[in-house]
Amino acid sequence: MLQAMSADLCPTAPRTAEPAGLGGALDCDEDGRELAAAVATNLARIRTNSCLDVDTLAEWSGLPAELLSALEAGRVVPRLRTLWALARTFEVPLGLLISGSRFADASPRVLRADRGRVLASADGRFRSRAVSTAGDPREPEVYEVSLAPACVEEAAAHAPDTFEHIIVVRGTLVIRAAELNATLHPGDAVFFKADGPHAYENPGGEETRLHLTMTYAGDWVPEAPA
């Protein structure tokens, strides 16, 4: 069962009794409010379409029912592992949970450096900014990730046939997954299957920054001949 993770109450939202396990507070800026609203809409839709009640989803995901209700009400900004737990439970891409309104055309779209939905670990030392401009299924699922000095982020297995492509932009990254144990420097890249436990580590004294692209190969990789 997936481990229950915490989320942060948005200080500008109406406060209710704080569910057990919630702690800390993030600055709830416009991007935080947009993220909370997008997750609220998408989580409620996916859960309803899956014919699950909140208690059943709590049992399957390992997340507290109080937290799930708060997420669907848009009262909390979810942390990164909370979203990964939900994505794995529903077997959907992480981007599907955080996407906003879908675009019906192919018009160019610009995302400025100070915008984008930021997902953070519980201590805030591992941060991931979604740089896909909208919930457009034609757009790659790309994140700008930063690790504080000496940060180690242990990631649970993603959905089956999930892959990650990483290129390091700044600093040093140690990546571990199954038989992979590699140290990467600026300009180095790695591609690996991320449907097992894996870890990211910044062993240096400066921030590490990388670009991470998620792909989900299960729908198009041909099956091996019988």
The answer to whether position 61 is within a domain reads yes
Helix crossing, 30-49 with 80-90: angle to 10°?
20
Total number of domains in the chain: 2
Q: Give pLDDT, residue 12.
A: 33
User: Per-residue pLDDT for 138 more than 90?
Assistant: no
Shared domain check, 147 and 93: no
Gap between the Cα atoms of 23 and 72, Å rounded: 18
The answer to whether position 125 is within a domain reads no
The pLDDT of 104-122, averaged and rounded, is: 79
Highest-scoring range by mean pLDDT, 24-33, 138-147, 171-180, 209-218? 171-180
Give the domain-ending residue among 98, 131, 166.
98
Gap between the Cα atoms of 98 and 14, Å rounded: 21
The SS3 call for residue 116 is coil
pTM for the full predicted model: 0.66
């941060």: which residue's tokens?
Answer: 127
Give me the domain span that covers residue 201: 140-219
Instruction: Assess contact for 200 and 175: CB atoms under 8 A.
Output: yes
Instruction: Please give the mean pLDDT across all residues of the chain.
Output: 81
Q: Give pLDDT, residue 181.
A: 97
Between 115 and 194, name the one with better pLDDT.
Answer: 194
In the beta sheet, which residues pair with residue 130?
Answer: 143
The answer to whether position 69 is within a domain reads yes
The answer to whether position 215 is within a domain reads yes
Gap between the Cα atoms of 79 and 117, Å rounded: 11
Angle at 190 between CA 159 and CA 178, to 5 degrees: 50
Q: Give pLDDT, residue 130.
A: 87
Distances (CA, A) of 20 to 76, 132, 197: 13, 33, 26
The pLDDT of 58-69, averaged and rounded, is: 94
């891409």: which residue's tokens?
Answer: 93
| Of the listed ranges 85-94, 181-190, 217-226, the one predicted with least confidence | 217-226
Each residue's pLDDT tens digit, 46-57:
999 899 999 999
Number of neighbours of residue 162 by Cβ within 10 angstroms? 21
Give the domain-ending residue among 42, 71, 98.
98
